Structure 1
Amino acid sequence: MMEANAIMYPEKTIGDLPGINVGHRFYSRAEMVAVGFHSHWLNGIDYMGQFYKKGVYHNYMFPLAVAIVISGMYEDDLDNAEDVIYTGQGGHDLTGNKRQIRDQKLERGNLALKNCVEQCVPVRVVRGHECASSYCGKVYTYDGLYKVVQYWAEKGLSGFTVFKYRLRRLEGQPLLTTNQVQFSYGRVPQSVAEIRGLVCEDISGGQEDVPIPATNLVDDPPVAPSGYTYRKSLQIAKNVKLPTNVSGCNCKGTCVDPRTCACAKLNGSYFPYVNCHGGRLIEARAVVFECGPGCGCGPGCVNRTSQRGIKHRLEVFRTPKKGWAVRSWDFLPAGAPVCEYIGVLMRTEDTDHVCENNYIFDIDCLQTMRGLDGRESDVHPTQSTSLKVTRQIKELTGKNRP
């Protein structure tokens, strides 16, 4: 995005950015860079240099800080949510033990925060939280604008000089996101007994590694979902004949080289998923070719990400007007697989007798690829069959559907 000049906010700005409200979550520092919310991959302080001394900022003294990240990197930090003691940047051990190994200097980001004190310039505060659902192991939340009210130098815990900054959250902003995140984690039931309105402990009947409970706080008396058959694998109609001689890649164990993997070549000679934290798509694509039964790799291959079953904790719940719905107890990063759409694979002409089923959709691979951004140049399907999938849920209860 940087090379293509596609950063949303390429120039740094004091204050809030349109569209990024208090509570917004980023799943990596890279996402903040791509948006232009905080432009440094590693540094905790993002600041404007002398380049910005023009236009509306011509009367300011630079550098000026515009955003900081609080993620527990410094041993001298003290975060009390509304009131923060923030340690300046530099001089700490980069191996991860957070200890200072040299004195800090009043320059760059440290000088920028000092200038914020003297010119009453607020900064955006982002906090990093541990999060297993994020591919980088953290989720970063925007907690609003803070005023830098004081700065000083002192000997830190390791005996080296550090610069300290007191920040106080500006009034009139939405509730602090950090508290909301902690509350959200606290609401996740730790046992079946804690689930309010539970009507079914697991709609999959034990077929999934992660149970999917169903709750109903709407009906009186509460009823459980009914009239469905839960399936984990695709059902093929009797008159549908699938190719039996489909070849796959010759990789062994796991696919590692996209230049030699036949399946990766169908994706444009690269693997579409990142190979960590459960996998997520590197970029949006109309069609993704995964390894299959004819491949030499095993189930741990990065190119079988969507085939590994449900990994997030899901809950089916009854809504007042829209029937049954589903929500997640976990964060769902963009591009991460949630679950497979499983049903019956049948020919188009055989779906006419299926009454009131809102879950039928066409599967025409070639048509799909040609209709979306001309992506047929990235993939090379060998066959296109006009088939449809009809889900086994016709009606869960009455006339309401999920």
Structure 2
Amino acid sequence: MILQLFKSSGRGYVLNLMIGGTWAASLEFMLVTCFDSDAELFLVGLHRSQQSRVDYINRNGGTTCLAVSIVSYAQQSVQNNNLDFLLHVGSVAATTGQKMEGTDLALKQSMDTKTHVRVIYRFVITGREELTYYVYGGLYLVEKFCKEKLREDKHISTFHLTRLSGQPRINIQQLVEKRMAEPSNGTFTVDISAGLEKIPISAINSISNEAPAPFFYISHIQYLGKYQLDPPSGCDCVGPCSDSQKCACVMKNGGKIPFRKTGGLLEEKPLIYECGPSCKCPPTCRNRVGQHGIAFRLQVFKTASMGWGVRSLDFIPTGRFVCEYIGELLDNEDAQERDNDEYLFLIGNNYYDVSRWANLQKTIPSLRNGPGEEEENFFAVDALKCGNLARFINHSCTPNLFTQNVLYDHDNKGMPHIMLFACEDIQPLEPLSYDYNYTIDGVHDSEGNIKKKRCLCGSVECTGWLY
């Protein structure tokens, strides 16, 4: 068992209780506290679930679940500071005879065991901008529950909670008004990837109370169902690959492994073939880099003028892999139907850019004969609805990252992975950036009109326009 004392922005204290590696509860000697976001509730252990209004824990090997906290939307009685009673409406409309489950079951079992439940009241204040506040209301007991009939064969459970006596009285209006008058303490999220990345991706805003806009975090490209991609033929290397004609992957790369032994990329190339799932070499082979995911502590942060950005908390040496640009893989037809193209990344269309590569593409056997059939259809990666932290990396006219086409899990050159590597040494807390490579007057809206957007990167070589 581990205990952790946490002081929240000068407004209160929580003693978090960890049992078996999980933050299970918070001991309630907290001062009356007002919070700015559900992420704060999570951090101090008041309410761990950011998806559900009711948080619960499992006990006795999962046979018992107990509700430990409720986030309740403010009712008129609460706004009038009548906190002694709370009516909570269940989450599921059930049919007659249907077994109670989920959060409703957790509340029912908390009632049966007389387990105290924390109640947090959520307030939304509208004005020039919409502000949300959470006020900790104290400990409650679930006194009873009822089944309210919706129609002949449907009902919904309602739970009646009463506040324990002896707790400090709370003036909701004064608390919220005081919190609004205080300077912003910002927001902080421990891991926006929710455990999908091997290193947590934190998000911090020290400018305002705004949190990143919600999106579905994924750690691998989502391929369209209509594309069945076969794994590529692999090498037969018994140990780690080396520069040898015996290694099929080395020959795909023009006779030399593109990575240093330390993991850094030797030079930017039109296309790189990493060893893949059919290769016999071990996972530690130096020709496996981007597929292993991030290796540095990266953080999403709010910038002063460019929205959200990404920075590293560690030093990143030149040539090291940073992250992949991940989202939904779309063909040209599907990409054209997307109304918002802010997170759309065109791929597989720059192998033969003479101004960029000169004759370097001729060193890659698969590129020597020009575009193949698989490159006739254009594809894009869209990170608007689902993606990873790369969607927050900003443009710069003098970037510290460059994009690298990589193949490892298939051989279709029209659908390469877009890997981001450091093109210079990057210091801790230095914003990450890459060149979006837009063409001035080359971006159009759905009606064919030219779109214009100023560049705010602030570099000495800034052109003044993003497109």
TM normalised by structure 2 equals 0.39
Structure-1-length-normalised TM-score: 0.45
More strand by share: 2
